[in-house]
Structure 1
Amino acid sequence: MTLAATPEEIIGPVAEPEGRDDGPLRSVSIAMAVLECFETEPELGATRVSQMLGVAKSTASRMLAALAVGGLLERSGNGRYRLGLKLWEIGQLAVDRLMLRDLALPVLADVRELLRETAQLAVPVGADVLYIDRLEVSGVGTLFHTDLYRRGPGHSSSAGKAMAAFNPPMARAIMERGFVRRTPFTIVDPARYRQVLRQVRTDGYAVSREEHTMGMSSIAAPVLARRGERQVAVAAISVVGGTSRVLGPRKVAVVQTVRRAAATVSAALERTL
């Protein structure tokens, strides 16, 4: 979420001499500003953070280290940091309080009942997707509700593509992290991936044809929320199942159902904000 004020406007440049302790409130402000730096760049070091915020490099270094100890950041090597999963887990509480899961659950249930396939709700986590709800159908028709968080790579999933196409920070994080080939069908060429995202923006849905797991494919559509003058993907609804079932003769029906479900949740979320 982008705040009205920039990090520099929040804390201003540091005027204290090096080594002077910051007050508790100022330390909290700096910590918040440091975290906000990662909205635009997936990995940062102390030098870059100090430049972005106008604070001493030693101050930025101490704050980055402290946030990493608390799990809000994690070290990525070469003195650089990235957002930690703990921060996203805390952020998920905010998502819950926005009633995203509550709003999506009956819609997911309708999707599962209509298609008799597993329906999922995912949110962006840097270059990954975090599945926060999953309504499953077993091979014998037994229904399951799995709400344990499960994290996966964004580039090889339909949910990741659906969100990245309408979420520039996520797309940038995916491009900068690079692509890992999980199956012979995984897209690993950056130019091809950008082309796919353009197509997703045109079509309003994304497809993953056995890019993550052989024999399994999925279709997803973005859940959009207004951020200033534009709409940004804050989640995605996807249907996953055997390739022949999801992308076979029923593909048009799956696409229509998933797009309608995502639009329903987007509209409901808009009314709560």
Structure 2
Amino acid sequence: MTRAVSAVADVTVFLLLVGAAAGAIAGGVGVEKPAATTNPAAAQASTLATSTASVEYELVVPPERPKPPDHATRRRRTSHGTVAELLGEAAMSGITVDGERLSRAGTNFESRVGVITRERLHSRGHRTAVRVTWSPYPGAPVTSECRVGDRPPETVDVRAATVTVPSGMENVSEPAREAARTSGYDGVATVVAQSVVDGLFPPAQSRYALRGDYPSDGLMAARYERMADLTGTAVAVERQSTTEMDRDLTAALAARLRTDMRSRYDSPADAARAVRTSRVRVTVRTWSP
């Protein structure tokens, strides 16, 4: 039995949350010019933004989590969307904090998306590579990236084009600017941290997952514990509500972001202007072999 829902929902174990695929329907896929007639990378980017695919994969569950007899069947999933949307989901499944990955539940999904992307980007006369990136602001300690294809040599002429897809996180650019005016770096960092934690751990869906069946319960518990470890705080999955755990994670992440913003930006206003939480960039580069 397979279940056709967003891969972002699966890899974050939000059983009722459609996630990035829902955002993509509402927010659309944005293509940054130049025109495809003069840039082969733009033609390839357009292919990613418009062609659809279905990906069958299995969630990767930590070996120490208890397994029911039909555990293999319960891990199987199917996700459908444009290739660009699937690439965005693959990137968001691999979010890291200070370079350390939050979860490996979606690694099989990520590899399957890579295979489909290579198939769609086959082009005679050109080499192609794709880099998919997200961060709440440039250089942030929370980030994600996935790559398909080899990096182009430094000596060749490279053409590039970009599409953007929703990250599944709220656009908080305006709240960040307001927070900069009223609360300085503390305010901006808190707004960004809240957006990230809300995107990764929505209280209602997280609560449903923790109370659900295998593998959602174990994966969500492991996810909370891992995020707490990466942000230097502690959570008690058995005793705390998801609202309480999200509050503690937000505070810990905000402290980490505040320190980073102070070192990176000359003013809170500069930090707020750099905030970009809601979009994932899918950059296609082409070159002649």
Specify if TM > 0.5: no
Q: TM-score, normalised by structure 1?
A: 0.30
Q: TM-score, normalised by structure 2?
A: 0.28
Determine which structure has the larger strand proportion and give its number.
Answer: 1
